[in-house]
Amino acid sequence: MNNIVFAGLGSMGIPMATNLRAAGMQVHGLDVDRARAEQFNGLAERQISEGEALAGADGLVIMVVNAAQVRDLLFKQEMVSQLPAGACIVQMSTVAPGDSAAISAEVKAFRDDLHYVDAPVSGGVAGARDGSLTIMVAAGDDAFTACRPIFEAMGRAIYRAGTDAGQGSTMKAVNQLLCGVHIAVAAEAMAMAEKNGLDLAVMLEMLSGSAASSWMIKDRGPRMILPPDEVTSAVDIFCKDLGIVCESAAQSRTYTPLAHAAHQLFVASSERGEGQLDDSQVIRTYRLLNGSPSQEEQ
């Protein structure tokens, strides 16, 4: 894995692609924002065209918004037909397990000499930036071995979910179920403390050191008790991810009432115009329903 085409140079994609380049790989970036791609590619040792990059790629890494964009890249933009035999398609976007399995089957029906790797990530922009992502991989033995240097350049924890496309996405869905529910219930707890007049800084300190603590309480809790500021993961991301969780649960006939409740909380926050705020700000919806003032009003 030396020549990589990286499709999707968004807030996570750019640092991920940069880390691949820092690991010594030749990386050609693609993005709907051509200026962004040109800026990234301008730092490459050798300037090549998109066609040249795809024709010589060992791997095509995809980090876009949804399954529709993945299909657009592979089939409408005909990247599947431009890759050389034996190349790996490393799909790292968060999509529903059913979509991942279907796309893999579509690739195989089109060409059976490519490897499709289902490898979603967790860790957000911070994890992408410092190369500490958690990567959940479903791939055959040969593809997993070939792609391991890619994963090691971008992540600190690599888990093999299985060999079949969709299994990596299922592992990501389970992870996001817990993340979303943890944020939602942390916001509920802090909103209850606030409604009853407790000092939120003291409340947070107590919870962080008790059996009730969680990574999300420690990470999102401080942001819940301060006015909105830096966005590390937006409300709308969990609208999407928990929507995928609920869709996956329906497909597998799994009972997930807490995931559905958390999803509705994020959707309510987004519908109130707060979808681009940090996901910790779902507490504002509780404040509204509790009749509590926002931090800006206090």
> Which residues form the catalytic set?
172
> Which residue is it, tokens 């795809």?
54
Report the Cα 38 to chain-centroid distance in Å: 24
* Structure letter (DSSP) for residue 295: T
* Structure letter (DSSP) for residue 94: -
Within 10 A of 230 (CB to CB), how many other CB atoms are there?
Answer: 6
The two three-digit tokens of residue 116, written as one number: 């499709």
Residue pair 26/3 in contact (Cβ under 8 Å)? The answer is: yes
Distance CA 168, CA 170 (A): 5
* Structure letter (DSSP) for residue 87: -
Residue pair 244/95 in contact (Cβ under 8 Å)? The answer is: yes
